[in-house]
Amino acid sequence: MSISLSSLILLPIWINMSQIQQGGPDEKEKTTALKDLLSRIDLDELMKKDEPPLDFPDTLEGFEYAFNEKGQLRHIKTGEPFVFNYREDLHRWNQKRYEALGEIITKYVYDLLEKDCNLKKIFIPVDATESEPKSFIFMSEDALTNPQKLMVLIHGSGVVRAGQWARKLIINEDLDSGTQIPFIKRAMDEGYGVIVLNPNENCIEVEKPKTHVQSSSDSSDEPVEKRERKDKVFKETKKRRDFYEKYRNPQREKEMMQLYIRENGSPEEHTVYVWDHFIAKSAAENVFFVAHSYGGLAFVELMIQREADVKSKVTAVALTDSVHNVWHQEAGKTIREWMRENCCNWVSSSEPLDTSVESMLPDCPRVSAACSTEM
């Protein structure tokens, strides 16, 4: 069990107060003095001593990291890989630092999709107003006009965004392992149009407006004595709540609220939206999907909602460790039959590549990826 510095400082005071309160009337003066002492402690400053400020750079250079010629993230000065435990015994601070770096990685990959892969960022909803929340996908120049074939990529759940398979692999391994870029480049080299979905970009975060808390007597017609008692309880409760909040959130991080993006509020909804407004309108005679983890579930949901259209346009689906479940998603018999013929799920296995792996679900063949495909 870890005990914070602030807890160790305050613990003797709390113990002394408890002992004094058990004493007689002579101890009341000491109790009052200790209460006064506690009231004058600046808890904000005290709690901050437990961890450094959550103030991180907003560029890779600021973190003193860069990707080398092999696509590996390395420290600019030491050449060492990224270190998560930058500060010992400060897990929350280290995690916040990791998340801040992850946001920079996301923007870095977006830039690579546009500059290195020559994809275009397309904002959605397509009819969004200037002020409403928006998301985006990436498409090659010929995604809608290529008459022959189109490749559609869907990543899994979590913090990953368009162009990524796994943030962890990008940071700890390299860009080829953790991003979709090798898939995109090979597809374009072989004449495919490409669409990269962004199913986890479902909302934007804005600072939560501050709410005014009314005292219990603000609009009360109760007798004065009763109102004063209720006010006293209200103030004591608020004081305890504020004390807890200062301990829980010592650096007063902003409280955020989520504004969901119209018709794109979930990975499933996003996938159907992109199908209706882009994929279904493409000229490609053959459409191919590559879907990882939750992306496989999103594809099955697309099939459930647009079965006839998907069957008429999609030629094959490559799944990697897909978490879809045809029973829980209530996929019908005709969908299951189509998946057996047109889908294949490469799963984590030590067996040689493409070795058949048994499945309890009658949906599509499962074969070995000859390694861990955990992303």
As annotated, the active-site residues are 293
**Which candidate, 225, 26, 30, 194, places its Cα nearest to that of 117?**
194
Q: What count of other Cβ atoms lies within 10 Å of the Cβ of residue 191?
A: 10
**Calpha distance 239→234 (Å, rounded):** 9
Residues in contact with 59: Cβ distance below 8 Å, sequence separation at least 6, in sequence order: 104
Contacts with 45 (C-beta within 8 Å, 6 or more apart), sequence order: none
Q: What residues contact residue 363 under an 8 Å CB cut-off, 6+ apart?
A: 324, 326, 331, 336, 339, 340, 343
* Cα 311 from Cα 302, distance rounded (Å): 11
**273 close to 125: Cβ distance less than 8 angstroms:** yes
Residue with tokens 């901050």: 48
Beta bridge partners of 66: 74
- Distance from C-alpha of 338 to C-alpha of 174, rounded to nearest angstrom: 36
DSSP 208: P
Cα–Cα distance, 315 to 337 (Å, whole number): 14
CA distances from 191 to 146, 197, 273, 274, 313 (A): 9, 19, 25, 21, 18
SS (H, E, C) 27-71: HHHHHHHHHHHHHCCCHHHHHHCCCCCCCCCCCHHHHCEEECCCC
Distance (Å, whole) CA 369 – CA 357: 10
307 in the Ramachandran plot: left (φ > 0), alpha (ψ -120 to 50) or beta?
A: alpha
